[in-house]
Amino acid sequence: MAALTRPTRGSVRAAGVGEGTAIAALWRELWEAHEAWGGYPGARDPRVYASLARRLDDDARARAGHPILGRHIHLVCDLGGVACAQVEGWLEQHGMDTATPLTCEVRSLVVAERARRLGAGRALLDALARAAGKLAGGAPCVLAAEVLERNPAHAFYARVGYSPVAWSTRIEAEAGAAIGGLSKGFMARLAVPRDALALARLESMLAARRQACGDARFDRPRTLDATFVAAIGAHLAAENHSSLREPATIVVVDQAGRVRGAASFTVHSLEPPFVPMRRALVGRFALDVASPPLPLVAPLVALACQLGRTNGAMHVEVTDLSGPGTALYDAALATGAQAWSRVVLKIG
């Protein structure tokens, strides 16, 4: 297959059969760097990376020289015939509105130390944008990457045109479960179908906040109608609270029982090459703008931490926040959470 683009030295193309070992070594370099930046630890067992190399070769065999397979894109940059950098992309649809662009989730961008400052990272992202555009049928596509706060790549993403639109913090589950004193009369619980109308109203507030932050991955505010409310009610009725692998909706209510805020919670297992552990996330904070965020955020985070701890997670990521210095971000920090990551995006 012809090279998709050329950096200063090297070429960007689909991975080939037999390159699994070299690409797995890049992944190991990435996970070790993530751990140094405070992220989830990667495996140290060479057998994990040997297994990953075999899977990568099987994947390359299935792709037959093409970077796109289904909704997944995998690209490498080679230097002297050896893979020195790689990136993945997953095409997702985050909204129901046909005007909402598709999102390509940028994952696992890593450039070997020996190949840095040669343009490989920029070339990979440029090629990924073109491949994502092709996969989207020429429609507008948003490229989005999550970057840990301690990752020095922030300056790189800014240089290539990515802008931050959403932020995350992280809190220890055990400590977060005990922050009830910040709730000031509000209480969090799992949502039920009768909450559908209140949640529909809050969804518009969430959409407006995302729009104000420049986050183009999601639907714009929509008109409240019976169909929208019924869809939310049906979704809540179908939620399986015995298994939190799919997002569960949690709400915060005031002393009169009125729903004043909502969030989603999910927990899942990290798989190799991560060290196996449970990862919990709470996000999509849809809050009544008539109330200060902290009394609403605190019980939602506390319940998420209780659910996370029950399901074996040591930490809970508090995601989809507005930026540092905003009332929502400050509310997350007030619960005891620490800065964790941000999402940067670019319209392809």
Mean pLDDT for the stretch of residues 33-54: 94
Whether 334 is covered by a domain: the verdict is yes
- Are residues 142 and 243 both part of a single domain? no
* Same domain, yes or no: 147 and 210: no
Q: Give the per-residue pLDDT at 281.
A: 98
Spatial contact of 82 and 124, defined as CB atoms under 8 Å apart: no
Q: How confident is the model at residue 7 (pLDDT cuts 50, 70, 90)?
A: very low
Residue 347 lies in a domain: no
Tokens of 258: 């009125």
Number of domains in the chain: 2
- Output the average pLDDT for the chain: 93
Tell me whether residue 123 is in a domain: yes
When pLDDT is cut at 50, 70 and 90, the band that residue 242 belongs to is: low
Query: So what's the pLDDT on residue 165?
Result: 98
**Residue 195's closest CA among 156, 161, 142, 237?**
237
> Above 80 in pLDDT, residue 4?
no
In this structure, the answer to whether residues 125 and 177 fall within a common structural domain is no
Structural domain boundaries enclosing 332: 168-341
Q: Are residue 109 and residue 211 in the same domain, yes or no?
A: no
Q: Domain check: are 48 and 102 in the same one?
A: yes
Cα–Cα distance, 86 to 23 (Å, whole number): 7
pLDDT tens digits, 102-147? 999 999 999 998 888 889 999 999 999 999 999 999 888 999 999 9
- The dihedral of CA 144, 145, 149, 151: what is its sign? negative
Higher pLDDT, 223 or 340: 340
Please determine, for residue 2, whether its predicted confidence score (pLDDT) is greater than 60: no
79 in a structural domain: yes
Q: What is the mean pLDDT of residues 208-235?
A: 92
346 falls within a domain: no
Q: Are 177 and 54 contained in the same domain?
A: no
What is the DSSP-derived secondary structure letter of residue 114?
G
Domain stop point among 134, 161, 188: 161
Q: Phi and psi at residue 58, in whole multiples of 5°?
A: -60, -40
Strand partners, 263: 250
Say if residue 289's pLDDT is above 60. Answer: yes
The answer to whether residue 245 scores a pLDDT higher than 80 is no
Among 95, 126, 161, the domain-final residue is 161
Same domain, 208 and 228: yes
Residue 3 counted as domain residue: no
CA 329 to chain centre: 17
pLDDT tens across 310-345, in order?
999 999 999 999 999 999 999 999 999 999 999 999
Shared domain for 39 and 181, answered yes or no, is no
Q: What would the two tokens of residue 174 be?
A: 């055990």
Q: Average of pLDDT values for 18-31? A: 95
Say yes or no: 41 and 83 in one domain. yes
Are 191 and 311 contained in the same domain? yes
Domain end: 161, 179, 211, which one?
A: 161
In a domain, 327, yes or no: yes
297 burial (CB, 10 Å; 0-12 / 13-18 / 19+) is: buried
Say whether both 178 and 290 belong to one domain. Answer: yes
Where residue 243 falls among pLDDT bands split at 50, 70, 90? low
What is the model's pLDDT at position 1? 42
pLDDT for the residue 116: 86
Same structural domain for residues 283 and 324?
yes
pLDDT digits (tens, 9 = 90+) for 151-206: 999 999 999 999 999 999 999 999 999 897 788 889 999 999 999 999 999 999 99
63-90 pLDDT, tens digit each? 999 999 999 999 999 988 889 999 999 9
Cβ neighbours of residue 16 closer than 8 Å, sequence gap 6 or more: 60, 65
CATH of the domain at 90: 3.40.630.30
Structural domain contains residue 2: no
